[in-house]
Amino acid sequence: MKYVDEYRDGAVAADLAKAIAAEVRPDRTYAFMEFCGGHTHAISRYGLEDLLPENVRMIHGPGCPVCVLPVGKIEEAIALAKRPGITLCTYADLMRVPGAKGESLLKAKAAGADIRMIYSSLDAVKIAEANPEREVVFFAIGFETTTPPTAVALKAAEAKGLKNFSIYCNHVLTPVAMRAILDMPAAPGEAPIAIEGFVGPAHVSTIIGMEPYNEFAEKYRKPVVIAGFEPLDVMHAILMLVRQVNEQRSEVENQYIRAVTREGNVAAQDLCDEVFELRESFEWRGLGAVPVSALKLKDAYASYDAEKRFATTTIVAADNPACECGAILRGQKRPSDCRLFGTACTPETPMGACMVSSEGACAAHWTYGRFRDHQKTARRAS
């Protein structure tokens, strides 16, 4: 596969692994967070952990939009989809996420609700156009990467004069969430935040550019290296982070130069500014309520806002109190430290944010990496 295999080359990976091993200082540890689920997925799927020195630890961040969406939002969407006359359109990976009572969009669909899986936000517009007697609601979620396509869908619906299309907007903001993690107080008795640097978002950065990360380098003194989602990108970014830490630098560097520019995609930013505004606060699964961390439609587009059109009620549903997602996202605990992991909480029955999608820290460890826990146990036993 041209333009893809080049970034998955095992021989280059071995060279990068050697370089990282040569540059890490044996007398200290390195802990970096990859914010995005795309990076978590690459690390797990390609087995990067086996290529990194033991004293380099990757902390898997909350950058998976399905994972951080609170259960209450799923319940609201299910309630909306069950109303007569409504067709709910959404991206496929939301379908399986269970609500508080174990119901999911997939189950609601089986029970008769009209829920459609779509691959593009514009498919929802097409469905609205083809079904003028239905109220078509696009359940929009995601970080800055998926926000512009939602704006494009809205503009397309407006241009077509569609009156039966609306958006249930749950778009969230990456830099705010990164700040929330760094500001999170440790629980009593817990060590302070372990994160020493970030593998910065790939696709999000193609939209927002590099500037929004400056505060992490300047105020928090944490290096950020924006990296692509291919495994060699991640290895390269880790090497760059190790160098920054060793040289006591904290800068925003761009490894993903083939896609990310300093200013980002200005046209997309302008379109989003036109359509969306900040919410005062938004509930994140795993992080709790985070001020100004999400977007809603501006009043000028109120007629496209499903929350206003259908007067949705906010449903609050708490996660299991034994769930350790918060500490795992801060890097203070590992998935296997949580007593729910692999027992009550599995990808089939997720109890917390990190288990919901394969990009979450716990699901990735369960699906791809849990054999290492058994290897460690076996080593200790022998």
Partner 1 sequence: MNSPVKSKTIRRKLDLRNGRVDMSHGSGGRAMADLISGIFREALANDLLDQGNDQACFPTPAGSRMVMTTDGYVVSPIFFPGGDIGSLAVHGTVNDLAMAGAKPLYLSASFIIEEGFPFADLKRIADSMGEASRQAGVPVITGDTKVVERGKADGVFISTAGVGVVPEGIALSGEKARPGDKVLVSGTLGDHGVAIMSSRENLSFETEIVSDSAALHTLVADMVATAGPAIRLMRDPTRGGLAATLNELAHQSDVGFRISENDIPVRPEVAAACELLGLDPLFVANEGKLIAVVAPEAADALLAAMRAHPLGENAAIIGEVVEDDQHFVQMTTGFGGGRIVDWLSGEQLPRIC
- For residue 112, the minimal CB distance to partner 1 (Å) is 14
- For residue 235, the minimal CB distance to partner 1 (Å) is 9
- For residue 374, the minimal CB distance to partner 1 (Å) is 5
- For residue 377, the minimal CB distance to partner 1 (Å) is 10
> Length of the chain, please?
382
- For residue 155, the minimal CB distance to partner 1 (Å) is 20
Question: Residue 103 is encoded by which pair of tokens?
Answer: 């119901």
Alpha helices, DSSP H, located in 247-338: 266-275, 306-309, 325-329
- For residue 270, the minimal CB distance to partner 1 (Å) is 28
DSSP state letter for 101: T
Q: Please name the amino acid found at residue 200.
A: G
Question: 330, 181 in Cβ contact below 8 A?
Answer: yes
Q: Exposed, middle or buried: residue 224 (CB in 10 Å: 0-12, 13-18, 19+)?
A: buried
Q: Which residues bind partner 1 (CB under 8 A)?
A: 1, 4, 8, 10, 13-14, 17, 44-51, 96, 106, 118-119, 123, 231, 347-348, 358, 366-371, 374
Nearer residue to partner 1 within complex by CB, 89 or 297: 89
Nearer residue to partner 1 within complex by CB, 50 or 133: 50
Nearer residue to partner 1 within complex by CB, 27 or 50: 50
- For residue 249, the minimal CB distance to partner 1 (Å) is 28
Cβ atoms within 10 Å of 262's Cβ, excluding its own = 9
Nearer residue to partner 1 within complex by CB, 104 or 332: 104
Matching residue, tokens 């961390």: 293
Among 323, 328, 326, residue whose Cα is nearest residue 352: 323
Among 105, 104, 107, 142, residue whose Cα is nearest residue 121: 142
- Sheet-wide strand order for 252-254: 56-63, 30-36, 197-200, 224-226, 252-254
- Torsion (CA) 354, 358, 363, 367 in degrees, nearest 10: -170
CA 107 and chain centroid, separation: 24
Nearer residue to partner 1 within complex by CB, 95 or 278: 95
Nearer residue to partner 1 within complex by CB, 261 or 367: 367
DSSP state letter for 258: T
Nearer residue to partner 1 within complex by CB, 332 or 358: 358
